[in-house]
A = this chain, B = another copy of it.
Amino acid sequence: MTAEVGLRERKKAATRAALAAAANRLAVELGVEHVTVEAIAAAADVSPRTFHNYFSSREEAIVASIIDWAERLTDELQRRPADEPIWDSLQAVFVESLDDSPEGHSRLIAQLEMVMANPSVIASQLSALDTMRRRFAEAIAARSGTDANRDLYPHLIAGAAAHAVKTSMDLWVLGRTDRPLRELVGEAFALLRAGLPQPDRRRS
């Protein structure tokens, strides 16, 4: 599958990955404010000018991993059986992508805290998530026989699912609940599938 790519392509992909990884690592370690393009480029062994051939902003590089994640998820979504209900496919794909190990948890928390500490990174994160949402919508449109240029359905379900996961993560990181992330995501999907009925006024 990943065959048939020349040396050139592989080198480009490697450079891109090295830049994204360096940007992300430095942002987590030093805090976004203290990361310069110069430092990222140095860590990836290219010139600062080259950095800007790959990413149009520092923030874009920092959140590049989200786009990668989105690409993997879209692939997996397309690999689900065509007769599976779409909600099931979405939920399965998202839940399976969660890393349940303690290190996975720490990494995710560090990521989210780094992002949330800086408004311009938040904006880039949302932008990346929106790109993911659009890809999902297209995949779903193809599968459900709807048209991403005309119909609301694929966009709404893709957005609802993406937002379900984001909100679950946000609440989970906030730490006011000790429920596992998987469970939160599961509940979010259940609520959405039920049409978000108004809860009765006693608290759980």
Contacts and interface: CB of A to CB of B under 8 A. Distances in A.
Interface of A: 56-57, 85-87, 119-120, 122-124, 126-127, 130, 144-147, 149-153, 155-157, 159-160, 163-164, 167-168, 170-171, 174, 176-177, 184, 187-188, 191-196, 198-199, 201-204
A153 B194 contact: no
Given A56-B119, A86-B198, A156-B188, 6 more contacts: A147-B203, A155-B170, A156-B160, A160-B192, A160-B196, A192-B195
Contact of A167 (B87, B127, B155): B155
A102 to B, nearest CB: 23
25 contacts: A87-B196, A87-B198, A122-B127, A123-B124, A144-B198, A144-B199, A145-B202, A146-B203, A147-B203, A149-B174, A150-B176, A151-B199, A151-B204, A152-B184, A153-B191, A153-B196, A153-B199, A155-B167, A155-B171, A156-B163, A156-B164, A156-B188, A159-B160, A160-B163, A193-B196
List the 4 shortest-distance A-B pairs measured between CB atoms, nearest first.
A126-B126, A123-B123, A195-B195, A145-B201
Contacts of A168: 152
Nearest to A57: B120
A109 to B, nearest CB: 17
B127 A152 contact: no
Contacts of A176: 149-150
Contacts of A193: 195-196
Contacts of A123: 120, 123-124, 126-127
Most buried by B among A124, A167, A188: A167
A130 B123 CA distance: 9
Nearest to A59: B123
